[in-house]
Amino acid sequence: MKIQCLRASVAVAFLFVSIAFTGVAQHGGKAEPNRIEFKRGATSTTISGVVRGDEQAEYVLSAKQGQRLVIKLNNTPAKSSCFDLTGPDGADMGLEYDCNWNYSKPLPATGDYFLTVSRPSQAKGTSRYRMTITVK
């Protein structure tokens, strides 16, 4: 009887630890960026989203050296969000000097490019955006 009670106690303790760990895992740490993928045969895709306050939406895109990357960002209210682009291995793409709504250049390297969409202000507010990404 004592062994059954001990087993039940261990099972209950394990359950509580599992639930606690799951809660920490869901709310702790930084989420992985959303991978941008194109439908078969397509060279362009459109993403819609919302950023509030100081939130950022994060995306990653795989591309090859020499391909032209075109990004067009539209938002409501106008100019309420902008994007930044970082190249493979954290290479600076030189966009941080201003709020960006359009980009069109050949890519300097093959790899994953990291794209963030955020509001230019940390104040309260919401921006709804629609971003079209083309790789040719």
- Residue 54 belongs to domain with CATH number: 2.60.120.380
The separation between CA 119 and the C-alpha centre of its own chain, rounded to angstroms, equals: 14
pLDDT in the model for residue 95: 79
Q: Are residues 21 and 80 in the same domain?
A: no
pLDDT in the model for residue 3: 53
Q: Are residues 20 and 73 in the same domain?
A: no
124 and 65 in contact (C-beta within 8 Å)? no
Q: Are residues 62 and 128 in the same domain?
A: yes
Residue range 108-126, pLDDT digits in tens: 999 999 999 999 887 789 9
Q: Are residues 9 and 65 in the same domain?
A: no
The pTM score is 0.74
Whole domain around residue 92: which residue ranges? 34-135
Q: Are residues 76 and 112 in the same domain?
A: yes
Q: Are residues 109 and 72 in the same domain?
A: yes
Residue range 37-91, pLDDT digits in tens: 999 999 999 999 999 999 999 999 999 999 999 999 999 999 999 999 999 988 8
Q: Are residues 10 and 73 in the same domain?
A: no
Q: Are residues 40 and 1 in the same domain?
A: no
Our count of domains for the chain comes to: 2
Residue range 7-40, pLDDT digits in tens: 444 444 443 434 444 444 444 566 789 999 999 9
43 and 70 in contact (C-beta within 8 Å)? no
